[in-house]
Structure formats: C-alpha cells, structure tokens
Amino acid sequence: MSEHAHRSLALAALFVFASGSICSSDTEAGDPSDTPLAHGNAVVTTGSCPADNKAMQATQLLLSALGGSLDVTPSCGDYKREIATGVTLDQPTGNPATWNKLGGRGERLAEAGLCLLRDLANDPDGRIENFAGTPTPFGDVSIRQRVGYIDFDPVAKRFDGWQDVSICAPVMGCTVAQRQQFSATLRRSSPALPSGLAAGDYPIADAFSLEVDAQESGFELHAELPAITVVTPYGPVSATPELDYGSKLDVIDTPFDGKPEAERLFGSSYWIPLEDTYGRWGTPFHTSITLYPGSGWSSQLGLGARVGTPDGPLWNPDPSDPHLNEFDMSIARSTVERSPTVYFSAGAEITYAPFDILPAALRSFPFSTTFSITVKPSISSYYAAQLLLLAREAQGPPGDVGSSGISQSEFHVATGARAEARLIITVSLKLKITVDLGIYTEDVVDLTPTFDIPVASGSALADPAPHAFAVARLGALDPNIGELHTFSGQGSTNPDGFVQACLTKPSQQGTIPEPVYTPGDPQDLATDEFPCNICIYVPPISALDMGFQVYTLSPYGSPGWRCRQAANGCMDLCSLDPATQQFTGIKKSAPEFVGPRCLYDPPA
C-alpha cells in the first residue's frame, strides 16, 4: 500500500471518530460551531422560482419575439457550504517547538479570499468578463461569462456578488441565459472543534471558513416557431423549425465521481496529494495528523460547469498517477461538471416530393410509386461557465518538493467559459415502387435510407481567463500574504496592506445590469445543401419480363463513384443556388457519409 493510501486510511479513521463526537452532548445545542455547515455538509433547498428571475424572463421574451409557443419547466433552489480556509495556532508547548508546517494561516487566508472577491469593485464596470466563440455556416456560437460585485460588509466580513452567462446562437439570437447571486461570509469556530488537537507543539486555536451561499436555477423549454420558406432544387417549400433549450447553473463540489484522491499542481511546479475537506471541523484533523512529506488539504466549490458536452474531455486518472490541474477549464472533473450550463438545438424538416424526376415508366401503369426526400438541417450548441473558489494548504520538506521545501496556503478565484457548436444535415429518402396487376401485387423497391451528415463543428475556450489568487506563507504564528494577484492588478507590491485596507474601508454599492436579448432569425435554417446523384436500383421483375434497371436521380457533375446494385441508395450532397435552383458543386461525396459500398471497388 502506498504512503498516500496509508494516510487516507488514517484520515478516514479520524473522521469516523469525529463524526461520532458530533452526535454527543459535548457541544451545546445551537452552538454555531456544531451545525451541518460547520461539519462540512452541504445544505441544499429547492422550491419555486421567484417571479423576478430575469434570466428566465429574458429567454421567454426572446422566444416570444421569435413567434414561438413555449413549454417551460423551471427549477430553482439554494446551495450552502463552507469552504475551509484552515486554522490559527496558539503559543507552542515545547521548547524548542516543533511544527509540521501546517496551520496558522486560516483567518488570514479567509480574509484574503474575501478581498480577492471585493476587488471586483475596483473594475470600472464592477465586473470581469470571459468570452469564447466559434463560427458555423449558420452564424456564430458564443458565450460571455460575467462575474460582478454587489456589496461588501467589512463588519460582518461578507461579500455579495453575481455571475451571469450570456449566449448567442443562430436561429435563437442572443440572451442572458443564466444569472446567479452568491455570497461569501467568514465563519469562525473559537475554539476549534474538536478541541485538543495540535500542529506539532502548537495547539490549534480557532478554525475558519468562508460560507458560500449560491442560488441554483435551471429550466428547459421547447418551442415551435413560425414556418419558414426554403428553396429546394424543385421549388420552394414550407418548413416549421423547432428548438429545444435548457440552462442549469449549479454548484459543483467533490469528490469527483468517487475518483481516487488526486495529486494537485501546487504552487508553480509541485505535485502534492491533497485531501478534500469542507467546513471548520475538517482542517483541525488535517492540520494535526502526522502527515507524510508533501501533503495537505483542499476545499473548493465550482459555481457552474466545465466543458459542457456529454462526450467532452473528462478527467479519468490512472490510480497510479492521479494528477489533476484544478485550473484547467478544458477538462471536466466529473460527469456532473461536464454537463452544459446552457444547451440549445434547432432544426427544421424540409420535405419535397420531386415525383417528376422519376423515369416515366415508373410513374404509370402497372407501377404505383411514392417518393419523397426530407432534408433536416440542425444545429446543436453547448455552453459551460464556471466560477471556481478554492482554498488549500500544503507542506513538504526540502528535497521532497523543491530545494527549499514548501509551507503555504492559497486562495484562488478562477473563471472559465467554453462554447461548442455542431451542425449536421440529416437526409432521408423514401421510395416505394409497387407492381399492381390486379391479381398480382409486388413491392419491388422499398428504399428508406437515412444519413446524418456532419457539416461543421467547432469549439472555443476563453483564454486567458481571469484568475486571481493569494498565497500565505511564513511561520505558525506570523502568517502573511506573501503573494497577491488581483483582477484589478492592485495589491501586488503590498499584499498585506491591500487586505487590511479592504477589510476597513467603507462599503460601496454595486449594480447588476439588466438582462438584454436580441432575437435571431429562424430563416437561418434555410439550408442550400440537398441530395444529388441519387442512385436507384430496380431489380428484375419476372411478372413483366423486365430486367434490372439503374437510375441516377438529380444528377450533377462527376460523382467519382458508379451507380449500381451495391450502391443502391447512395447519394452526394450538393450545394444549390436558390436564385437559379441549380446545383453549383458537390459538398459531400457519398463514400464520405454513406460508406465504402458506394465506391467502384469497396475495401474487402
């Protein structure tokens, strides 16, 4: 068993002991240090959505402006959990005192985290932004994430902020898809519980955390839009676009799908195994336990998701090498985190029946023929945005993690946004030819091929994305902020002075922008790509003493493959000039999306 596994078992044993003490009578009922939040549990409530959910209102108004009929399923709630920031220490009991290089920085780290958030007010607009976009043949798909300041109470040490996600997509247009208000409040257990623990010779004094309270909301809708006109190779037809839309802004926590504890990238170049913890009861154990070299703890919440596609990149480590960069927003750490913050899809079935292009012999006695072609252009877009709040602490001696070792705590406020688009054209052919001689009936052709043809895809990740952090170092009784990177760029030369000023200056009131929307155009779905060079094979018909027949319908250009029995149902996809209703080029060849059977000599 590895040292890491031994340490995990030791911590598990301590937490079993601790959870037993929670239910004892050692702590008085109502003590704020003995609450579910203090113990590290999440408190989640659900209920009806408020009438002033402006993001939902904006989306509903947008769809109404497009003329759609709506079917909305809303869900709303609230999520609370404490991000642990560590402990403070008392005077040592030994002389000379020994210290395991953990603890002492809990209060200062919590204050630094609050001030990183308050620094949002130093931006002229009181917010930071991320943008990512990718083009498609139907128009651009993009996401804009904004994180902003509402208020800060220096007495209560509470920050109030907001996050919203705006998207743009063809057909739909642009809207504020999600908006979330959240707060972070410093919490303190004095003394730290359970009591009697120490970091070497330094008794643990108080335990600290930031209690995060965030709104959660989501809704889904289906809309049927007014009909559009599409020009086909055989004249204009009417099609009814339909769209599906959903958004969900939840809070993501650990463990990530129960995966093995990760070695996290700590500082700039050290990989250190960090145990996940929450609340004020966890860090005293992590601080006091006899730790193996190069170890510590991590506490984090992600407001929102990463990646946003069900088949996107997912962290799936080898247990022997479980490395994880927490700030790589291009990889989701769990299937829940991979879920989209917003998704959107739209399509329209364009059906036409070019009966006249069939040979005359198949359109008269003794044949009864039905024939239609359906082309369905559809676009799917996925969006993800996350605000990551993360505190962590680690230690390691010289030679284990660098020449000088490491003993530090960190608080990070990181952001990320991603958009992805996929455009496909689904082509369906229905051809049924029946010989009907009265006393004799036979279906000689019953052809119903359907092909999903990828037309375009693309993704974009906001880069660089705003990322602020504070690093606390030095001794057990002398914590300071040794390094500070704020969103505004302030405070880097005097980090402790910046934090002190943040905690004492009067509060200023921020504002939340009103959500806006811009309707799109359902006519975006009017494709100019249609089937051509459609291969039809009619087998011999003994009742008519007729041999087999091969026909190429809607011919254009030189297909590069030959119509024959093996290629029955093969077709190309051609571009069309709507003004002349004439094909102008082959966009996709049959072997690309139907398969090798369309080729002259398909692979064995």
pLDDT in tens, 494-548: 999 999 999 999 888 998 988 888 999 999 999 999 999 999 999 998 888 888 9
Half-sphere exposure of 404 (CA within 13 A, CB side): 3
Length of the chain equals 604
Q: Which of 22-31, 156-165, 332-341, 522-531 has the lowest mean pLDDT?
A: 22-31
Give the whole-number percent of the chain exceeding pLDDT 90: 62
Which helix or strand (DSSP H or E) is residue 436 part of? Answer: strand 406-436
Residue scoring higher pLDDT (424 or 70): 424
* Token couple for 309: 């596609």
- For tokens 């769809």, the residue is 63
Using the predicted structure, report yes or no on whether residue 258 has a pLDDT greater than 90: no
CB 523 within 8 A of CB 347: no
- For tokens 């208000």, the residue is 181
- State residue 22's pLDDT score: 31
Using the predicted structure, report yes or no on whether residue 413 has a pLDDT greater than 90: yes
Secondary structure in 3-state letters for 384-427: EEEEEEEEEEEEECCCCCCCCCEEEEEEEEEEEEEEEEEEEEEE
Residue scoring higher pLDDT (354 or 473): 354
Q: Which of 55-64, 344-353, 437-446 has the lowest mean pLDDT?
A: 55-64
- DSSP helix/strand/coil, 343: strand
Q: Mean pLDDT across the stretch 265-282?
A: 83
- State residue 351's pLDDT score: 97
Using the predicted structure, report yes or no on whether residue 7 has a pLDDT greater than 60: no
Q: How many Cβ atoms sit within 10 Å of the Cβ of residue 151? A: 15
Using the predicted structure, report yes or no on whether residue 18 has a pLDDT greater than 70: no
The closest alpha carbon to 77, from 46, 34, 33, 39, belongs to: 46
Res. 68 pLDDT band, cuts 50 70 90: low
Q: Beta 480-485 vs 467-473: how paired, if at all?
A: antiparallel
Using the predicted structure, report yes or no on whether residue 52 has a pLDDT greater than 80: no
- DSSP helix/strand/coil, 272: strand
- For tokens 């088949």, the residue is 311
* Token couple for 330: 């291009």
- State residue 600's pLDDT score: 74
CB 458 within 8 A of CB 136: yes
Query: Using the 8-state DSSP alphabet, how is residue 121 labeled?
Result: G
Cis check: omega of the bond before 191, within 30 degrees of 0: yes
d(CA 268, CA 166): 33
CB 592 within 8 A of CB 560: no
Q: Which of 69-73, 414-418, 461-465 has the lowest mean pLDDT?
A: 69-73
* Token couple for 451: 């092909």
The CA distances from residue 386 to 80, 167, 208, 411, in Å, are: 17, 14, 24, 16
Q: Mean pLDDT across the stretch 435-453?
A: 91
- State residue 61's pLDDT score: 79
Using the predicted structure, report yes or no on whether residue 12 has a pLDDT greater than 80: no
CB 40 within 8 A of CB 33: no
- State residue 576's pLDDT score: 97
Q: Mean pLDDT across the stretch 48-63?
A: 76
Cis check: omega of the bond before 531, within 30 degrees of 0: no
Residue scoring higher pLDDT (363 or 20): 363
Res. 70 pLDDT band, cuts 50 70 90: low
Q: What are phi and psi of 543, to 5 degrees?
A: -65, -25
- DSSP helix/strand/coil, 88: strand
Q: Mean pLDDT across the stretch 438-456?
A: 91
The CA distances from residue 195 to 192, 205, 210, in Å, are: 6, 8, 20
Instruction: Write out pLDDT tens, residues 202-244.
Output: 999 999 999 999 999 888 888 889 999 999 999 999 999 999 9
d(CA 369, CA 502): 80
Q: Which of 73-77, 341-345, 400-404 has the lowest mean pLDDT?
A: 400-404
- DSSP helix/strand/coil, 134: strand
Using the predicted structure, report yes or no on whether residue 391 has a pLDDT greater than 70: yes
Residue scoring higher pLDDT (161 or 600): 161
The closest alpha carbon to 18, from 45, 48, 41, belongs to: 41
The closest alpha carbon to 235, from 351, 338, 115, belongs to: 351
Q: Is the dihedral of CA 30, 32, 34, 39 positive or negative?
A: positive
d(CA 117, CA 212): 12
- DSSP helix/strand/coil, 500: helix
Using the predicted structure, report yes or no on whether residue 276 has a pLDDT greater than 50: yes
- State residue 402's pLDDT score: 56
The CA distances from residue 604 to 486, 566, 597, 599, in Å, are: 62, 13, 10, 12
- DSSP helix/strand/coil, 178: strand
- State residue 49's pLDDT score: 77
Q: Which residues pair with 546 in a beta bridge?
A: 541
CB 472 within 8 A of CB 465: no
Res. 387 pLDDT band, cuts 50 70 90: very high
- State residue 17's pLDDT score: 28
Mean pLDDT estimate for the chain: 87
Res. 4 pLDDT band, cuts 50 70 90: very low
Q: Mean pLDDT across the stretch 408-431?
A: 95
Using the predicted structure, report yes or no on whether residue 15 has a pLDDT greater than 60: no
d(CA 157, CA 164): 24
Q: Which of 8-17, 120-129, 417-426, 554-563 has the lowest mean pLDDT?
A: 8-17
d(CA 317, CA 335): 14
CB 572 within 8 A of CB 559: yes
d(CA 197, CA 285): 7
Instruction: Name the H helices within 249-333.
Output: 282-288
- State residue 13's pLDDT score: 31
CB 81 within 8 A of CB 41: yes
- DSSP helix/strand/coil, 439: coil
Q: Mean pLDDT across the stretch 110-136?
A: 94
The closest alpha carbon to 203, from 84, 360, 92, 56, belongs to: 92
Q: Which of 76-90, 182-196, 502-516 has the lowest mean pLDDT?
A: 502-516
- State residue 602's pLDDT score: 60
Using the predicted structure, report yes or no on whether residue 599 has a pLDDT greater than 50: yes
Buried b (16+ CB within 10 A) or exposed e, 244-265: ebbbbbbbbbbebeebbbbbbb
